[in-house]
Chains A and B, each alone.
Chain A
Amino acid sequence: MSKKPPSTKNAPNYAYDARRATINARLDGGEQLALYRVMVRIRRFEERCLRAYQQGKIGGFLHLYIGQESLAAGCCSVMDRKTDHIITAYRDHGHAIGVGMSMNELMAENFGKYTGCSKGKGGSMHYFDPTRNFWGGHGIVGGQIPLGLGLAYALKYRGIKGACMAFMGDGAVNQGAVHESYNLAALWDLPVVFIIENNGYSMGTSQERSSAGPSLAQRAEGYGMNWDIADNGHDVYEVRDKVDRALRLARDESKPSILEIRTYRYRGHSVADPDSTYREKAEIEEYKRTKDPIMALQNSLVVERVLTDELIKKIDAAARAEAETSALFAEQSPFPTPEDIKKDVYWEVDNPADRKSVGSLFFD
């Protein structure tokens, strides 16, 4: 990663083969299969979520990640699970599965059940698992980016050689807080990687209609920050290579960077989005046909003889069964109780033995 745009952008470097990058060349068959499995599991989980939503089991919003699986799977696969951290927006199912959260706790969260990762309090947009260094799931566009900056700050402050991946969409780059974060990251050399998952649209607004300038990542130049673009975000190997470089820069030199990854979402912005005013069906079909991230990896693994037809079926069936089981688990789990509504608001109320303040905290 360099301050100058690397060759993949201005003039495509046809010699670049992500599969041969060091981080990928050393993968053994088992590790490749693990990558593939994560992507299939994300997709099957989300398809099951969609059905549950249509059956009225899930309320509010459901933002599906279908089409973008190579990003979460690739990025999480190169994380140092002990010292790297991750935070993202509301389209968070892929990252949650990527860091190893179970489908059961995720589906239960979507159903608003007490067994959900956030006890049914946050819903689909607000998954959390600090034990896996996953700091959410956030609903306000761009609002999570200063938090990612803060996670990186805390790492540096505490002398931990880790990095934080702060994910956002292509629409989020136009929030002021994002730009303030870029500046602080560069000014204070914080170990953060700003990852823009550029799926081309923020709701119904295309990138051209929302963002000035030649590219989203290039805005880094204004802050003297490194940047790069993964043009082939559907290629999990390219995602891994580029994010690995950015993470190493953050961990080893405490330098921030912006990595823009080009991708595509197949479904509407959320399940309720009519998805008919801003793009043609043909555009979606074309991407599916030529760049589906799961098919791309599947094809290459078949060529490499890591995957067989039989194994493809087996992995798919297992992912479907896991998703189905999670729906059953969610269905059979209890809802929170009315008393739970007022828990998890204040530390002191949940831990009365630690209470130091006096006076009323609630007023009903």
Chain B
Amino acid sequence: MPVITYREALRHAMAEELDRDPNVVIMGEEIGQFHGAYKVTEGLLAKYGPKRIVDTPISEAAFIGLGVGASMLGLRPVIELMFFSFYSVAFDQIFNNAANMRYMSGGLVHCPLVIRGPANGGTNVGATHSHTPESIAAYHPGIKVVVPSTPADAKGLLKSAIRDNDPVMFMENTILYGETGEVPDGEHLVPLGLARVIREGTHLSIIGHGRAIQMAVKAAAILEEKHNIRAEVVDLRSIRPLDEETVLASVRKTNRVLLVEEAKPFCSVSAMLACIIQEKAFDHLDAPIRRVTSVDSPAIYSPPLEKIQLPSVDRIRAAALETLK
């Protein structure tokens, strides 16, 4: 299997879907002539031309709203946000229009649209550019939310998202763009809503998504090596739909849970998971559910402090040991 970067995996997914479906249109700021602020769309303009690869002005509310409208008439827009944080400029278009359209029309209208871009901290770009709005997005029935943490998932999930008939918010990570991994050539689809057990274990379940779950993989290796603890690591991959089955099966197996994510703790994905787990597997818990999240404040700029604010391998390791006490 070819080893490629997360960035290339996303690009391949878009290229394959552009080839497959003439209604797929890629749109966003600096995605064409400039090759993308993070080079995800590099080369697509040369190959597919300006009808399919569309550079926009800095007008997020307009071009995301345009994506919603165009999707109503049969296009499949894949809209890049240079930083996912800019979604809030288009909040009304996403959460009032895209999310509610199908419902308000009694099922007559649907919006097969993908909004993608990096949603992460860790690069010292400050509070306005470091939002991780998985839970805000997933709060809205009608919206789907996907967060790949590996190159293979980046490709497989993006292809599925583009084919999906509902609006999908697809959250990537600038720090993962350069990470490499094995990715199947050609048709590789990962269904939305299917979690992946990255590592099997028996002592506790570490469950989460995005870059934080990749940190958990590293923490699990240290736990095994230094502490003789076998942690199971579950990557949610998709937040809504959510693979409750895989999560609960892991909890029933290990009886201890550590939830990890990069977002803030209040009303977050891990808060929701903790609720589900106590509702559906209360009798299987041998200890309180623990969480590792970002420190609860806006993202700080100061580089060494931002490191402390965010989850880290060491914080996950320490929290895992606490969970086992």
Contact = CB atoms under 8 A, between A and B. Distances in A.
Contacts of A340: 305
B296 A59 contact: no
A203 B301 contact: no
Contacts of B306: 59
B58 A141 contact: yes
Contact of B128 (A140, A202, A336): A140
Interface of A is mostly: loop
A176 interface: yes
A278 interface: yes
A180 to B, nearest CB: 11
Interface string B285-313: 00000000101111011111110110000
B272 interface: no
Contact of A139 (B34, B37, B129, B295): B129
B55 interface: yes
Interface residues of B, number: 40
B35 interface: yes
Contacts of B300: 120-121, 336, 341
B266 A139 contact: no
A233 interface: no
B10 to A, nearest CB: 20
Nearest to A119: B302
Contacts of A278: 33-34
A211 B62 CA distance: 14
B30 interface: yes
A61 interface: yes
- Count class of interface residues, chain A: 35 or more
Contacts of B35: 277
Interface in A129-184: 138-143, 171-172, 174-177
Contact of A210 (B57, B85, B124, B302): B57
Contacts of A122: 126-127, 301
Given A120-B302, A174-B58, A335-B305, A204 B89 contact: no
Given A336-B302, A341-B300, A175 B59 contact: yes
**Max count, chain A CB within 10 A of own CB: residue among B60, B126, B266, B303:** B126
B126 A60 contact: yes
B193 to A, nearest CB: 28
B125 interface: yes
A142 B61 CA distance: 12
Contacts of A342: 295-297
A123 B130 CA distance: 13
Contacts of A143: 89, 128
B86 interface: yes
B136 to A, nearest CB: 16
A338 B312 CA distance: 15
A166 to B, nearest CB: 16
A14 interface: no
Contact of B296 (A138, A171, A338, A364): A364
Given A60-B124, A176-B59, A121 B89 contact: no
A205 B57 contact: yes
A140 B89 contact: yes
28 contacts: A60-B123, A60-B126, A60-B303, A112-B301, A112-B303, A113-B302, A123-B124, A123-B125, A125-B126, A140-B85, A143-B128, A171-B57, A172-B58, A175-B58, A177-B89, A203-B30, A203-B34, A205-B29, A205-B30, A205-B34, A205-B55, A210-B57, A277-B33, A277-B35, A335-B302, A342-B296, A363-B296, A364-B293
Given A123-B301, A126-B301, A143-B128, 4 more contacts: A123-B124, A123-B125, A141-B58, A362-B297
